[in-house]
Amino acid sequence: MELQAVLMAAGGGSRMTDLTYNTPKPMLPVGNKPLMWYPLNLLERVGFEEVIVITTKEVQKMMSTDPKMKVDVKMKLDVVCIQEDGDMGTADALRHIQQKIKTDILVMSCDLITDVALHEVVDLFRAHNATLAMLMSKAHEFTETVPGQKGKKKTAEQRDFVGVDQSGKRLLFMANEADLEDGLSVRKSIMRKHPRMHIKTGLVDAHLYCLKKAVVDFLTENKSISSIRGELVPYLVRKQFSKTTDSPKMKDDAEDQTQKKNDSSTNHELLISSRDEPLLQLAQERSCWNDHHGDMSEAYHGGKLRCYVHIMDQGLCYRVNTLAAFIEANRLAPKLFEEPAVHPSAVISERCQMGSDSIIGALCQVADKTSIKRSTIGNSTTVKEKVKVTNSIIMHGVTIEEGCNIQGSVICSNAVIGRGADLKYCLVGNGQRIEPEERGGELAYQTEQPN
Amino acid sequence: MADSGVTEGPDKKEEIDRAKSEGKELTKEEKQRLRKEKKQQKKNKEKKDDKASQESEKEKKPLSSPPPASQPPPQSTTQKAPSAVPAPAPVSVPASEAPVPADKPAKSKAELKAERRARQEAERASKQGKKGETGQQAATSKQKAPPNELQPVVKRLPEHIQVDNPDVLKKLAKKLERQQTPGQVADKQIPLRMDYGYKVSLFSHLHQYSRKAPLTQQVSIPSTVIHPAVVRLGLQYSQGIVTGSNARSVALLHAFKQVIRDYTTPPNEELSRDLVNKLKPYISFLNQCRPLSASMGNAIKYIKKEISNIPSQCKEEEAKSKLLNCIECYINEKIILAAKAIAKSAIEKISDGDVILIYGCSSLVNHILCEAFEKSRKFRVIVVDSRPRLEGREALRRLVQKGISCTYVLISAVSYVLPEVSKVFLGAHALLANGYVMSRVGTSQIALVAKAFNVPVLVCCETYKFCERVQTDSFVSNELDDPDDLIVTRKGKTHLKDWQEVPSLGLLNLVYDVTPPDFVDLVITDLGLGMIPCTSVPVVLRVKNVDQ
């Protein structure tokens, strides 16, 4: 077997607590499908037959009852439950399932919606025998007004500085703004080997990583690393140019362990060579290919640890981890698939005006004289007469009474909007009741949370 | 253009065809008539143009072949024998099909003889009919074979040089479908890689692939049909990470080692037969990623032979370790030790003060030069390079790293530097059976110019690259690389960016060319042969085959 897929679905959605305090993030509906259906669908389309899903018990329960997941996902899902307290990072989770991992892995996050040609990332991983291959995309500005944030300014997201070489494929430098105190410093050894480096800041990390099995083994030894994105990836990128990688001496490691404990021992684990290493070496020696020109070193500068990145400039790539991204994803995700906008089981009266980019879920009931434009209506929702829904996201089981006017809002599951309510850019939490004749603008309606 | 003799033919032919289709046995008289016709036609034929009859013969042959194929052997014999036998009837098919004007008083002895002959031919014809060969009967009857006249022998052409024939492509697609291991789902198969871009008409019979459309696009990502090591290898071939015939063979054998390690014999199967079947789809896959080189072909033949020679009572573990050992030995003998032997012979030819010209990056030539430098020979090297591959840069790097003083020129300057060159060392991709050297495109140019300047040209080639193919030009069988490689951006401008839209423009990126043996002075090879002339290659091949 070549690659094992691992889906990380235990995240808490800390940047969109308004939506996730009742529904766990992996099961949030986007285009009337649970969020984690999208990465699973991508894996299935590409040809995977089994996926290891790391998630919480709550999500597992919801998965087994959700009709979309049961019917559409034909792969075998091996669900591993972990505690919900949120202390476990992604790398910790990998350590947890170390026993199940037999080959190289493809780690994905449950909030990734993309139509990338996955073979581009995996081909980099295969062709260059890389230790890490990841996917990044040019970031898009979110233009829609985010509901429920009255006057809240958008906090400046910490930027990521990504350095790639001239071909745009080899990853040379990766750091987050938070880690760089006074400035961006680049080591001389990197500059000597790659004199031309492009540093990009407008990239979104898609959290899709191909990792060698040796990295998982390395994680089990080094328990200090707890997050793939935050710690493991920058570590691997730095280690490419570390001095000890140039001469892998397996036998001396026993002695080195006492002295340079961190460096050499970790290198030994990361650079586990295949059984036919001399043959591979011979093939590389005889091959007249080099990845760079202009200096005297051999291909890859003799380095054994290589990290590659595929930067998408066209196509869809969203990480649904903020409210703005969630709204944007709801707009665009349906365009990925060619499914009918109106679910066949929905009951729509004839005098309803429905725009072409709206979606109606299963078992909905939409009454007369309603107008639904650029919106997503979830399953089992009831929309009564004379309701105007524009630019909004209505989740499952919502009841909207007559005469409401909902604009640019997000209504979570099982909410009830009273008659004649007028909501503009509001966020209504789970199970909330909006009083009739309520006038709301840029408000978030939530219950007080006990925790 | 039809002879007068031929005009009789069609009528009689129809009669006989009718007779055949009706399933009648030919009478003795008819058989005699046939024979006499043949003799007459022979006389007529010698007066007329050969080619004309051959053209009509070609037409008639396909016509005649379906009927014989459907007939029961004894009946088709006399028909097919004269029709399909080119030798005794140089006068050709139409003639032979026409019955000979009857010679009434037939002798009994002659008749018996004729019948015996006819029966023998029947058997031969039925055997060949089963093979489905059209009109090719080398082993013909006891009838005297005429002096060699050009017979249109329909040979089977390999598919990789018939890309412009849609039937051949369909056949290839079907072949890939069939080549799955038993038990696989029908939709999991080796995909067919599509050709890309406009092909120059002289080379439209060859495949031309784009590097941006790798075969892995059509294969599922955790590849189950094809072993991951083979997928990785295919990618490395198509992206040019593994280039050079030695490197490609070593990488191929390395991948096969992984395959053999991960192989388990299914129940009720024998390792010797099943493993060979398992390797077939992998080889097709690799062929699609990049056409196989001659060295790879020989390596594959060797492995297949070793696998089929495994005795059936051998246990799986033992068999696998034996195969792995064989592969190691092959690489050791044919590549590593061969390089040492060749270097030893070649160093004798390098004297102090020499100026050596090399072209591109040949691993063997680089090895020789490095060894010579270590043995303290004083020489300098001129590295000639050419676009778009610019492999000379890599050769330059390796030589300069050792400390050899080098000059670097592009191939357009070769006639300017040749006056100062004392010898030319060339590497080879393959040595063909007629003494031609197949190597990177540009090699024949260098050999030609060197010949004009009277500079000796030495080709270094291991024996495992000797190939039984015969080629006299670079058109019939070659490799077309990605045409987009020729596009270059200078000062921010890419002039050829939209070359596909210009209808009269075609980009051609050839990979190999063929150098005639007159331009090559010496071939330095291993197996104890040392230095041989180019024309001794078929002898070496013959001796090698006898040994094996």
Query: Given this model, what pLDDT does residue A123 score?
Result: 92
Query: Given this model, what pLDDT does residue A448 score?
Result: 47
Give B321-353 pLDDT, tens digit per residue.
Answer: 999 999 999 999 999 999 999 999 999 999 999
More confidently predicted of B121 and B330:
B330
Query: Given this model, what pLDDT does residue B153 score?
Result: 64
ipTM of the prediction: 0.85
Beta-carbon separation of B363 and A286 below 8 A: yes
**Encoded tokens for B349:** 């030819």
> Taking the CB of residue B230, how many other CB atoms lie within 10 A of it?
23
A428 to chain B, any CB pair closer than 8 A? The answer is: no
More confidently predicted of B346 and A437:
B346
Residue of chain A minimizing CA distance to B360: A288
Residue B372: closest CA among B403, B396, B397, B335: B403
Q: How far is B17 from chain A (nearest CA, A)?
A: 56
Query: Given this model, what pLDDT does residue B116 score?
Result: 86
Mean pLDDT of chain B: 80
Q: Is A162 helix (H, G, I), strand (E, B) or coil?
A: strand
Considering only A245-249, B511-515, B522-526, which range has the smallest mean pLDDT? A245-249
Provide, as residue numbers in chain B, all residues whose Cβ is less than 8 Å from the Cβ of A3.
Answer: 221-222
Find which of A132-146, B182-196, B365-379 is predicted with most confidence, using mean pLDDT: B365-379
What percent of chain B shows pLDDT beyond 90? 45
Give A74-128 pLDDT, tens digit per residue.
Answer: 888 888 888 776 677 888 888 888 898 989 999 999 889 888 889 999 999 999 9
Beta-carbon separation of A288 and B391 below 8 A: yes
CA A389, CA A383: separation in Å to the nearest integer? 9
A191 to chain B, any CB pair closer than 8 A? The answer is: no
Beta-carbon separation of B247 and A46 below 8 A: no
**Encoded tokens for B169:** 């492509």
Residue A241 DSSP symbol? T
Give B431-453 pLDDT, tens digit per residue.
Answer: 999 999 999 999 999 999 999 99
Q: How far is B333 from chain A (nearest CA, A)?
A: 14
Beta-carbon separation of A123 and B235 below 8 A: yes
- In the stretch 30-49 of chain A, residues with CB closer than 8 A to chain B read 46-49
pLDDT band at B484 (very low <50, low <70, confident <90, very high): very high
pLDDT band at B17 (very low <50, low <70, confident <90, very high): low
Mean pLDDT over B196-220 rounds to 88
pLDDT band at A158 (very low <50, low <70, confident <90, very high): confident
Residue type, A404: C
Residue type, B489: T
Beta-carbon separation of A296 and B400 below 8 A: yes
- pLDDT exceeds cutoff 60 at A262: no
Provide, as residue numbers in chain B, all residues whose Cβ is less than 8 Å from the Cβ of A123.
Answer: 214, 216, 235
What percent of chain B shows pLDDT beyond 70? 76
pLDDT band at B120 (very low <50, low <70, confident <90, very high): confident
> Between A and B, how many residue pairs show a Cβ–Cβ distance under 8 A?
107
Query: Given this model, what pLDDT does residue B230 score?
Result: 93
More confidently predicted of B294 and A182:
B294
Beta-carbon separation of A47 and B401 below 8 A: no
A278 to chain B, any CB pair closer than 8 A? The answer is: no
Mean pLDDT over B449-472 rounds to 93
CA B538, CA B432: separation in Å to the nearest integer? 8
For residue B296, the Cα-to-chain-centroid distance in whole angstroms is 12
Residue in A46, A122, A127 nearest the CB of B236: A127
CA angle, corner A6, sides to A5 and A8, nearest 5? 150
Query: Given this model, what pLDDT does residue B15 score?
Result: 56
For residue A372, the Cα-to-chain-centroid distance in whole angstroms is 30
Give B183-193 pLDDT, tens digit per residue.
Answer: 445 445 778 88
Considering only A152-166, A362-376, B11-25, which range has the smallest mean pLDDT? B11-25
Beta-carbon separation of B235 and A282 below 8 A: no
Beta-ladder partners of A373: A390
pLDDT band at B514 (very low <50, low <70, confident <90, very high): very high
- pLDDT exceeds cutoff 70 at B63: no
Query: Given this model, what pLDDT does residue B283 score?
Result: 93
Mean pLDDT over B527-544 rounds to 86
Residue B6: closest CA among B59, B72, B47, B53: B53
Beta-ladder partners of A6: A52, A107
CA A33, CA B423: separation in Å to the nearest integer? 72
Mean pLDDT of chain A: 81
Residue B249: closest CA among B430, B482, B371, B481: B430
Provide, as residue numbers in chain B, all residues whose Cβ is less than 8 Å from the Cβ of A2.
Answer: 221-223, 228, 231
Residue in B222, B231, B254 nearest the CB of A48: B222
Answer whether B459's CB lies under 8 Å from B428's CB. yes
CA B40, CA B36: separation in Å to the nearest integer? 6
Mean pLDDT over A134-140 rounds to 88
What percent of chain A shows pLDDT beyond 70? 87
Helix then strand then coil, in percent of chain B rounded to 5, is 55, 10, 40
Beta-ladder partners of A173: A163
Beta-carbon separation of B241 and A2 below 8 A: no
Considering only A30-34, A243-247, B381-385, which range has the smallest mean pLDDT? A243-247
Provide, as residue numbers in chain B, all residues whose Cβ is less than 8 Å from the Cβ of A288.
Answer: 243-244, 247, 360-361, 363, 391, 394-395
Query: Given this model, what pLDDT does residue B548 score?
Result: 64
